Amino acid sequence: MGWAVIDTAIHPVPLTLFAVMFLWQMPHTYAIAIRSMMIMLGLD
C-alpha cells in the first residue's frame, strides 16, 4: 500500500512480493495446523 501511495505506476516488484506473501500463507498455515494436530493426536 505504501508503494502505491508514493508512486502511481504499477511496478513488478511490489506485485511479486504481494504474490509471494499471498501464495505462501495458506500452505504454511496448513502445515502448522497439521503438525499441531499430529502432536495432539500423539502421532508425532
The tens place of each residue's pLDDT in the chain, 44 residues long, gives 576 677 778 888 888 988 999 999 999 999 999 999 999 999 97
Rounded Cα–Cα distance for residues 15 and 23 (Å): 12
Please, are residues 14 and 3 in contact by the beta-carbon 8 Å criterion? Answer: yes
Which pTM does this prediction carry? 0.57
User: Would you give the distance in Å from CA 12 to the centre of its chain?
Assistant: 18
Rounded Cα–Cα distance for residues 38 and 22 (Å): 26
User: Would you give the distance in Å from CA 26 to the centre of its chain?
Assistant: 6
Overall domain count for the chain: 1
Q: Residue 13: what pLDDT?
A: 85
Task: Provide the residue range defining the domain that includes 32.
Answer: 2-41
Q: Residue 1: what pLDDT?
A: 59
Rounded Cα–Cα distance for residues 24 and 17 (Å): 11
Q: Residue 6: what pLDDT?
A: 78
